[in-house]
Chain A
Amino acid sequence: MAATIVFLGPLRDMAGQESLEVDTPLDWAGLLEVVGEEIASQLQEERVNIACSGRVLADKTALQAEDGDEVALLPPVSGG
């Protein structure tokens, strides 16, 4: 049973890959563990968001990813 972590923007460079398959269930503590120290410290910043299956989590520490979920790591945006 697996979920896919997707790295966006600068986090993709940091991770050195676009995505990562991980075992489920995956919670916040588990996520911090699998992404490595550098990205884990980014995730703990308030301005970095997490989406699970296309929905941005109001409280990212409440993450509960199940089999087939896509967990997107969303650094601060810069559009326009």
Chain B
Amino acid sequence: MKDVRLLKEMFVPGSLVGPFTQAHPGFGGVCTFVGEVRGGAGQDAGVEALELSHYEPLTLPTMEELADRALTRFDLMGLLMAHRVGKMRVGEPIVLVSAVARHRRGVIDAVDFCMDHLKAAAWFWKREKREDGWHWVEPRADDYADLARWD
């Protein structure tokens, strides 16, 4: 089962993952990654909020296509992918990827694969609010290097 969502409001990861795993009786493994708005120390200190914008005609279709690729490539029974758009505060979840399959390896790799693509190859633009206003977040070289691992 494929379940891909763009969410405009805050979500509780467990409330999505619970029903998702229950819909796949007989699975052998589930792997879930949740990304949250980072705050606190170092270069992230002073981040008050985050805003994610997207482009409706492209963003969801591209996520659907990514999910299809992961389902086939990693022999999954199911894949859940949820991504927030709009304004978020520190500690709120931004992204959730959860995979179920008969065996362990595929689900772990599938989540890794999906996250690398969501970070660097999905149609989202991120900006963060600091004391002096909003700043666009530039993609990092690491994000592209992570993505290239799957070629």
Contact = CB atoms under 8 A, between A and B. Distances in A.
A16 interface: no
Most A-side CB within 10 Å, residue of B122, B136, B143? B136
Contacts, number: 65
Nearest to A9: B125
25 contacts: A9-B53, A9-B136, A10-B136, A13-B136, A51-B55, A54-B58, A54-B61, A72-B55, A72-B57, A72-B58, A74-B58, A77-B122, A77-B124, A77-B125, A78-B136, A78-B137, A78-B143, A79-B83, A79-B95, A79-B120, A79-B123, A79-B124, A80-B35, A80-B95, A80-B119
B136 A80 contact: no
Interface residues of B, number: 26
Measured as residues with beta carbon below 8 angstroms from the partner, the interface class of chain A is 10 to 19
Majority-rule SS of B interface residues? mixed
Contacts of A8: 53, 55, 123, 125
Contacts of B55: 6, 8, 51, 72, 74
Interface of B: 35, 52-53, 55, 57-58, 61, 83, 94-95, 115, 118-127, 136-139, 143
B125 A75 contact: yes
Contacts of A76: 138-139
Nearest to B62: A56
Interface in A31-52: 51
Contact of B94 (A13, A72, A74, A80): A80
